[in-house]
Amino acid sequence: MDLADLTRVRYEKRDRVAHVTLDRPDCLNAMDLRMHEELARVWDDFEADDEVWLAVLSGAGDRAFSAGQDLKELAARIDQGSNTPATFGSRGKPGWPRLTERFELAKPVLARVNGHAFGGGFELALACDVVVAAEHATFALPEAKLGLMAGAGGVFRLSRQAPYRIALGHLITGRPMTATRAHELGLVNEVVPAEELDACVDAWIADILRCAPLSVRAIKQAAAAAATMPLEQAFRTRFPWEEQRMHSEDALEGPRAFVEKRAPDWKAR
């Protein structure tokens, strides 16, 4: 995987964790086509690397997680006549499949939101599994005010993850919400003062890594798939990651470690 020429994203792997940072702080980490292309390579590498079990997605600086699509780039394409009409999804565009469409990604992704998460930035956060935000963070899907569509899943995910009428109100007005309000709606797991954000993220990392990685992946996959299934069907369904977990060494290691009063030595196999 060629990751040597990343210019829009910082990507570091240490202690089982992939740290992915949107790195355009001068423009509030707005996502241009180059960033999407780089992110696709990063997510491919994360998914393929058996040594990393969790990703943390953040934005450089303390002003924004991401302001969403780079509208200056979009306007330039419109002026040049090179822009084509776009609707839901990123198929056929640079960076496909983007995180918002990696429906089979079973490894957990934690969003560290420090500042604005607008448009595509909010959509990225909605696609993550755990969201931790600083108190000054704000969230919005302002596409309607720009003649655009929250086509990276914002329309679909916000109306599923928040009460429908509340979600629709934000979608058709573009009104922002505070981190505290997002927490009240269940869109954010935890809100802390900015100076405590990294410690909070580290605590979540530690708690996730204490768990068996195959159990985490099986839980994520089953929970996501079953969310739209009748309960009886969910019980009957065979989930691929659960099939791996139930026959894994880790499924034996956990009970043994408990009885022997020691920390389990997870192998992810």
Which residues are the active-site residues? 123, 143
Token pair for residue 101? 């469409």
Residue 136: closest CA among 197, 59, 202: 197
229 in Cβ contact with 237 (< 8 Å): yes
H or E stretch at 52: none
Cα(164)–Cα(211) distance, rounded to whole angstroms? 33
Q: Fill in the DSSP letter of residue 40.
A: H
In angstroms, the CA 20 to CA 38 distance is 11
49 and 41 in contact (C-beta within 8 Å)?
no
Q: Are 118 and 66 in contact (CB under 8 A)?
A: yes
- Helix (H, G, I), strand (E, B), or coil: what is residue 109? strand
What does the alpha-carbon distance between residue 112 and residue 230 come to, in Å, rounded to a whole number? Answer: 33
How far is 253 from 255, CA to CA, in rounded Å?
6
Rg of the chain on CA atoms, in Å:
19
Contacts of 240 (CB under 8 A, 6+ apart): 221
Angle formed by the axes of helices 213-226 and 250-259, nearest 10°: 120
Give me 100's structure tokens: 């918002």
Q: Which residues pair with 132 in a beta bridge?
A: 112, 190
